Structure 1
Amino acid sequence: MEQTLRLIFRNAEGRTVTMSVSNPKDPLESTDVDNAMDLIISTDIFQTSGGSITEKVKAEVVSRQVNTILEF
């Protein structure tokens, strides 16, 4: 099963910004994710069309499973 970690922030204009990380380590600790999100904000290394990333909204893991039913 494929997993993607989605880090969701708000930028200076109040718009939502999402960063995706494919195949994050397992197990994923919430404190590690929280610290990484704080680091992204504090270092201000990512600029969006709406300005700097200013706050955390949420982090989520999306799991996707593909079952092939027919292949040629």
Structure 2
Amino acid sequence: MKTLSMVFRNTVGRLVRVNVDNVRDDITEAEIKNAMEALVSKNVFEISGGELKEPVSASIITTQTQEFDLVL
């Protein structure tokens, strides 16, 4: 599974992380930047400590799961 992790600075200077699970494999840096800017400009999240004010960073986190058959 791939998760997009976006970090923003809010109005009081704190860093706020927003994660989106199951991000597309072909998402581009430009799409991520545009999405982050849209989240800031449209103020879609109510966050304690103030509104999102600026994008800081973004990363894609890939998680791999390995299951084991433990039939006894």
Q: State if a TM-score over 0.5 links the two structures.
A: yes
**Larger CA Rg, structure 1 vs 2:** 2
Report deviation, 1:70. Answer: 4.8
Q: How well do the aligned residues superpose, as a CA RMSD in angstroms?
A: 1.2
> Is 1:52 the counterpart of 2:46 in the alignment?
no
Say yes or no: does 1:65 pair with 2:71. Answer: no
Deviations 1:17-37 (A, max 9, x none): 111111111211000000010
Indicate whether 1:15 and 2:14 are aligned.
yes
Unaligned runs of 5+ in 1: none
Identical amino acids, percent of aligned pairs:
32
SS in 2 for 1:28: coil
* TM-score normalised by L of structure 1: 0.88
Deviations 1:24-70 (A, max 9, x none): 11211000000010000011121211110001111100011112245
More strand by share: 1
**What 5-or-longer segments of structure 2 have no aligned partner?**
none
Give the ranges of 4+ consecutive aligned residues of structure 1 lying more than 3 Å apart after TM superposition.
Answer: none
Distance 2:69 2:58 in 1: 35
SS of the residue 2:51 aligns to: strand
